[in-house]
Amino acid sequence: MDISDAERVIWSAWRFRHGHVRRVHRRQLKEHAAEVIGALRVAEARQDIDADTAEAFEDLAKMLLKIAERYAEGRTGALLDPEDLADSTKAVNREWVRLAGLGVTVVGTAAGASLLGLPDPATSVLVGVVALVAVGLLYGARFLPTDLVDIARGQSRR
């Protein structure tokens, strides 16, 4: 079981569930999210370590259910109880690395295309395709070939 989708939601849960948050409270919510993700990673690692994998899966499922219930209630500062967080270490959010990599890739492609003297229509298509591929690689998004063609043409399925 991969918990990367749950991690992504937990990192940003406080931002989506609450409007403007004061700086002190924001820091507490970020720290709690890091502790929750650390606990999830420990529970996920138990699948490979413990002899009883069924119990490890059950514990992870209970933990995810508790997080989902509390998120739905708007309790993003108490997604897990302190006893659930006891034997875990805080996770580190490295989302800024992905975002910086995406930005450098897209801007570098645009700058490279302009230095090569490509026409504007070709540059825009090239930058769009490179941006899609970079998003796919950095964030794990999967696009069908037909979706890529539609995006390159500027069409959408909505």
43-80 residue pLDDT tens:
888 888 877 788 888 988 999 999 999 988 888 888 89
Give this prediction's pTM. 0.66
What's the mean pLDDT in 111-121?
93
Whether the Cβ atoms of residue 130 and residue 106 lie closer than 8 Å to each other: yes
> Secondary structure of the chain: what % helix, strand, coil (to 5)?
75, 0, 25
Question: Could you read off the pLDDT of 128-158 as tens digits, one per residue?
Answer: 889 888 888 887 777 677 766 776 666 545 4
CB 56 within 8 A of CB 115: no
Give the Cα separation of 89 and 39 in Å (integer): 7
Q: Looking at the predicted structure, is the pLDDT value of residue 13 above 90?
A: no
Domain-wise residue ranges, the chain: 4-85, 95-153
Q: Which pLDDT value is given to residue 15?
A: 76
Residue 106: pLDDT over 90: yes
CA distance 14 to 142: 27
What per-residue confidence (pLDDT) applies to 16?
73
